[in-house]
Amino acid sequence: MNFHRFSLYFSAVQLAFSAILLGTLQLNSNIYALYHTLAISLFMLITAVLGIYFSWRGQGSRVVADAWLIISIVTAYIAIDVSPFFNSPVKPLELALTGIVTVIWVVDLYIAWRAKLPVLRL
């Protein structure tokens, strides 16, 4: 398994998801939900670009650091977004996309671990 290639693919997927989330901003019926979606989509956009750059340059430990950061923030987003306060028509889509992002980076960390990269030592 080529860790850098997988990370590149995963970052590209996340980039696409962040673009979709940015596209759904107008569908939010609640101003708080809109800001929350905006924050997570920008975060995902920036970390996806960083992920693509680090994977392209073969900087494994930086990809791992990026993966931890994404998992950490996206799970926080999900924990808050399940609240009824943030109800909006696009919420199921947002939760699905951020859920997939969490899973792919957990898989990425597993691949890094199998590739003997220091996953717990940044």
Partner 1 sequence: MEGRGRGIFFDDYSLEEVPSTERYGLYNMFLTLSASFGAIAVLFAGGVLGGGLNFVDATIAVLTGGTTVLAIIGALSGAIGAYSGLSTYVGWRFPFGRVGGKVLGFALITITTGIGWFAVESWFFGVVMNEIFPHNPFFSVWAAALWGGILMILSTYIGYRALSFLSYFILPQHVWLIAVGLLLAISLHGGWGAVFTAAPKSHMTLTDAITDTVGLYIAGSLIAPDITRFAKRARDAVTAWVLHMYVFYPFLILGAVAIVLLTGSVIITEDMLKLGMGVGVLLIIILGQWIINTVNLYSGSLSFTNAIPVRRDLSSIIVGVIGTLLAAYWGYTAGASLTPFENFITLLGSLLPAAGGSVFAEFYIVKRYFEGIKDPRQRFKLEPGREYPEVNLVGLLSFAAGALAGFFVPGIAAINAILVAFVVHVALAYVFKRAGIRYEFGRYVYRSGLERVVR
Rule CB under 8 A: which residues touch partner 1? 32, 35-36, 65, 68-69, 71-73, 75-77, 79-80, 82-85, 120-122
Find the shortest distance in angstroms from Cβ 80 to partner 1.
4
Find the shortest distance in angstroms from Cβ 3 to partner 1.
18
Nearer to partner 1, 35 or 56 (CB): 35
Q: What is the C-alpha separation between 27 and 81, in angstroms, rounded?
A: 16
Nearest to 116 by CA among 61, 69, 62: 61
Nearer to partner 1, 2 or 72 (CB): 72
Find the shortest distance in angstroms from Cβ 29 to partner 1.
16
Q: What is the C-alpha separation between 122 and 82, in angstroms, rounded?
A: 31
Nearer to partner 1, 1 or 79 (CB): 79
Q: What is the C-alpha separation between 115 and 19, in angstroms, rounded?
A: 30
Q: What is the C-alpha separation between 32 and 91, in angstroms, rounded?
A: 12
